[in-house]
Structure 1
Amino acid sequence: MKPDLTTKFSDSSRGVYLFGTTPPKQSTSEDAAAEIADKLLQRLQHVEYDGLIVYDIQDETSRIDKPRPFPYMETLDPRAYSRLIREKADKPVITYKSVSQRDKAAFIDWLDEAWNEYGVRDTVLVGSPSSEGEVQLSLNHAYAALAEHPAQFQLGGVTIAERHASKGNEHERLISKTAQGCEFFVSQAVYNAQATIDMLSSYARKCREDGVAPKRVILTFTPCGSTKTLEFMEWLGISVPEATRFRIMDAHSPLQESIRICRNNLEQILEAVMPLDIPIGLNIESLTNRKEEIDASIRLFKLLKSIVDLKLAEADL
C-alpha cells in the first residue's frame, strides 16, 4: 500500500512535494475536464511528486479596492476535480474549502459529501478573504464543526508571511490552528524570503517555548512571466519587494528571472530555517493558464525539489 500524506507529513527526515492547480471553469464538460486533467498529469509524468492541491477559487473583490487583473470565473466543484485527478494520477489530493459563504449545516453537508461521495481525505479550510461583508461561518467555527465530525480528515491551514510582517503574530496563529486540529500548513506564494524567514523563526521559537514539535510547513512558489501576472500576484496579497518587481519586469526573460528569484529565495529560507527543525515541503503552482507559465512551473518544481533533497541529504551527513 502506498504511504498516504499523513504518513509522509509525519516523517520529518524527508521533504513533501506537491503541485497546486485550480478546477476548470464551471461550464466545462466532463469530457473536457478529463482532458484538462490528462494534460496536467502528462506534464507531471516525469516529475517525482507526492500529491496535488486543488484550490477553491473565490472572487475576493471585497478584500481590495483594485480591480482584479484577471476576470473571476466560477469553477467546477473542487471536490469533483480532486476525485478526477486522484483517480487518474493515483496520488493523494488536498482539497481546499472556503468556509465563509454558507452556514454550519451546509458545511457539515459539504463534509459528509466530501468524505463519502468524493473520497476527500486531506483538506485545507480557508476563512473569509476580508473582514468586510457577511460571514456565515467563521474559520474557528468551521474547525470546531470538523472536529465534531465523525470522518477523520487530515486538516491543514493556510499561513501568510505577509500577515506576520504587518502584525507580527502569524506564529501564534499557527499554534492556535494546531490546537484546533491543523496537522500541516501551506504558505501563500513566496516572493519575500525575509518575511517567510521571520515568520518561521518566530514559529520555531514559540514551539520550543511551548515544548511542542513544529508542524510541517509547505512553501508555495510560482513562476511569473508577465507584468499582468505580477499585478495579479500583488492583487492576491503576495509581497513582492520593489527590487524583485523591477528584476522581473526589466528582464529579457521575465519567466526565467522569476525562476532564478524563486531558487534564491528558497536557498535563503532553507539556510535560515533548516537548523530550526521545521519539516518543510514544497507546493508549486501556476497562477495563470498560460502554457509558458504552466511549463515553467514544472521546471521550477524539478529545480526546487532538487535543492530541498540536497539540503536534507547534507543534514543527514
Structure 2
Amino acid sequence: MNVELSSSRFERPLRLVLEAVPPEVHLGRAGMEAVVEKVATVHSAVGLDAVNIPEIREERSKSEKGERRKPFAPRVEPRELAYELRERVGVDCMINRVVVHLERERQLDWFRETWERFGVREFVLVGGERSDVTYPGPSVPEANTLLREQLAVPGLRLGNICIPTRVGEAARLGRKLASGADFFTTQIVYHGDEFTALLDALRDAAPPPELLLTLCPVRSARNIRFLHWLGVSVSDDLEGWLTAGPESVGERSLAHIRQTWREIVDHHRSANHPCPLGVSLAPIGRVPNATTVELAEGLIADAGG
C-alpha cells in the first residue's frame, strides 16, 4: 500500500498523532485490515507523525457515571499492529505499555524484542490501575530509568501519561522527567482551563517536555458514558449541551473540541510557553474517517499550519 502524503505534514507547527486501537483477536485478518485502512486514509490526507497504539486490558470503571456496554475481549498485540502499519502505511508507531505486570528483566526483554523484531522505538509507559495493589513489575519512573540505562535503542523516546486534573500533577511530571521521560500524552481533555493550568505549572520544567493533548470526537450519549467510564472529566453542563439533540452530538463535539483547542493555542502563544504542543486524536466509537480528517485539518489550521 503506497500512501501519498499531504504537504501539510511538512508545514504545520505541531506533531499530529492518531490513536489506533488493536482489533479484537476474534475478528481475524479482517479486523487488522480495517485498522490499517483507517490509518492509511487519515495518513494520506493529513500526514500523521505517528500512530499511538494502546495496550487494552480489562479494567474497572473510574466513575459512577461510567458505562461500558461492550465486554472486554482479547486484542491483537499492539506491536503486531505497529509492524503492519510501519511496513504497509509507512508511519511510525508508539506503543502504550503497562509496565507493572512483568518483573524488571522480563519487562526489559519485551522492550528489547519490540525494537529488534517490530522496529518500535517510541513508547508510552503506563502504571498499574490500582494504588492499593503491589505489582511484580517496576513503577513508571523505575521503568523510565531501567530503559534509559539498559535498552540500547537508537533514538529511543519515552512518554508517560499525564492527567491534568490530578492534584500535584506538575510535580509528578517533574519526577518522571528526572527519571528519563521525554514527553507526556494527556488523558482525553474536554476543558481547556484544566490543561492550561497544568501548562502554567510546567513553565520552569527543564527541559520543557513535549505535551500531546488527547482530543476525542464522539457521536452519541453512549460514547460520553464510556468517557466517564475511562475517568475523563466532562462537566454536567458540557454533557447536557452535547446531548441536547441526539442527532447533533457529533457536530457539537467537533465544535467544542475546536474551540477548546483554540483557547489552549492562544494561551500557549500569549504566555510564550516553552513546552512544545502536539495533538493525539482518539476517536471513540464509529467515527467516520472523513470526520477525523476534518477535525485534524481544523486543528492544524487553528495552530497556524
Q: Which residue of 1 aligns with 2:243?
A: 249
Alignment-mate amino acid for residue 276 of structure 1: H
- Other structure's SS at 2:281 match: strand
Distance (whole Å) between structure 1 residues aligned to residue 19 and residue 62 of structure 2: 22
Is 1:198 matched with 2:192?
no
Distance (whole Å) between structure 2 residues aligned to residue 35 and residue 240 of structure 1: 30
Q: Which residue of 2 aligns with 1:160?
A: 163
TM-score by length of 2: 0.87
Which structure ranks higher in relative contact order (CA pairs < 8 Å, sequence separation ≥ 6)? 2
Offset at residue 32 of structure 1 (A): 4.3
Offset at residue 224 of structure 1 (A): 1.3
Is 1:239 matched with 2:253?
no
Pick which of 59-68 and 171-180 moved more: 59-68
- Other structure's SS at 1:223 match: coil
Q: Please tell me whether the aligned partners of residues 42 and 48 of structure 2 are also in contact (alpha carbons under 8 angstroms).
A: no
Distance (whole Å) between structure 1 residues aligned to residue 42 and residue 186 of structure 2: 24
Alignment-mate amino acid for residue 264 of structure 2: I
Which consecutive residues of structure 2, in runs of 5 or more, have no partner in the other structure? 1-11
Q: Which residue of 2 aligns with 1:218?
A: 212
Q: Which residue of 1 aligns with 2:295?
A: 300
Offset at residue 28 of structure 1 (A): 3.6
Distance (whole Å) between structure 2 residues aligned to residue 283 and residue 272 of structure 1: 19
Structure 1 residues 1-317: aligned runs within 5 Å? 14-30=13-29, 32-61=31-60, 63=62, 68-137=68-137, 138-152=139-153, 153-163=156-166, 167=167, 169-204=168-203, 206-207=204-205, 212-251=206-245, 252-274=247-269, 275-288=272-285, 290-292=286-288, 294-310=289-305
Distance (whole Å) between structure 2 residues aligned to residue 256 and residue 267 of structure 1: 17
Q: Please tell me whether the aligned partners of residues 22 and 55 of structure 1 are also in contact (alpha carbons under 8 angstroms).
A: yes
**Comparing both structures, which one devotes a greater share of its residues to helix?**
1
Post-superposition Cα deviations, 1:50-90, rounded to whole Å, max 9, x if no partner, equal 12111111222175566534322221110111111111121
Offset at residue 233 of structure 1 (A): 0.7
Which consecutive residues of structure 1, in runs of 5 or more, have no partner in the other structure? 1-12, 311-317
Distance (whole Å) between structure 2 residues aligned to residue 36 and residue 62 of structure 1: 26
Q: 1:23/1:238 Cα in 2 relative to 1: closer, same or farther (>3 Å)?
A: same
Pick which of 55-64 and 234-243 moved more: 55-64
Q: Please tell me whether the aligned partners of residues 126 and 158 of structure 1 are also in contact (alpha carbons under 8 angstroms).
A: yes
Q: 1:112/1:301 Cα in 2 relative to 1: closer, same or farther (>3 Å)?
A: same
Distance (whole Å) between structure 1 residues aligned to residue 38 and residue 16 of structure 2: 19
Distance (whole Å) between structure 1 residues aligned to residue 67 and residue 280 of structure 2: 27
Pick which of 224-233 and 169-178 moved more: 169-178
Alignment-mate amino acid for residue 124 of structure 1: V
Post-superposition Cα deviations, 1:69-112, rounded to whole Å, max 9, x if no partner, equal 43222211101111111111212111110112222222112112
Offset at residue 148 of structure 1 (A): 2.5
Alignment-mate amino acid for residue 186 of structure 1: T
Distance (whole Å) between structure 1 residues aligned to residue 14 and residue 102 of structure 2: 35
- Other structure's SS at 1:261 match: helix
Say what the alpha-carbon RMSD is for the aligned residues. 2.1
TM-score by length of 1: 0.84
Of all paired residues, the percent bearing the same amino acid is: 24
Q: 1:141/1:213 Cα in 2 relative to 1: closer, same or farther (>3 Å)?
A: closer
Q: Please tell me whether the aligned partners of residues 216 and 284 of structure 2 are also in contact (alpha carbons under 8 angstroms).
A: yes
| Number of residue pairs matched by the alignment | 288
Q: Please tell me whether the aligned partners of residues 79 and 120 of structure 1 are also in contact (alpha carbons under 8 angstroms).
A: yes
- Other structure's SS at 2:76 match: coil
Distance (whole Å) between structure 2 residues aligned to residue 291 and residue 63 of structure 1: 24
Q: Please tell me whether the aligned partners of residues 53 and 96 of structure 2 are also in contact (alpha carbons under 8 angstroms).
A: yes
Pick which of 279-288 and 32-41 moved more: 32-41
Post-superposition Cα deviations, 1:230-264, rounded to whole Å, max 9, x if no partner, equal 01111111111221111111034100100000011
- Other structure's SS at 2:182 match: strand
Q: Please tell me whether the aligned partners of residues 112 and 151 of structure 2 are also in contact (alpha carbons under 8 angstroms).
A: no
Q: 1:61/1:295 Cα in 2 relative to 1: closer, same or farther (>3 Å)?
A: farther
Post-superposition Cα deviations, 1:117-154, rounded to whole Å, max 9, x if no partner, equal 11111111100122144422222222232122232321
- Other structure's SS at 2:145 match: helix
Alignment-mate amino acid for residue 148 of structure 2: A
Q: Which residue of 1 aligns with 2:8?
A: none
Distance (whole Å) between structure 2 residues aligned to residue 120 and residue 85 of structure 1: 11
Distance (whole Å) between structure 2 residues aligned to residue 171 and residue 261 of structure 1: 26
Alignment-mate amino acid for residue 147 of structure 1: R
Alignment-mate amino acid for residue 179 of structure 2: Q
Q: Which residue of 1 aligns with 2:4?
A: none
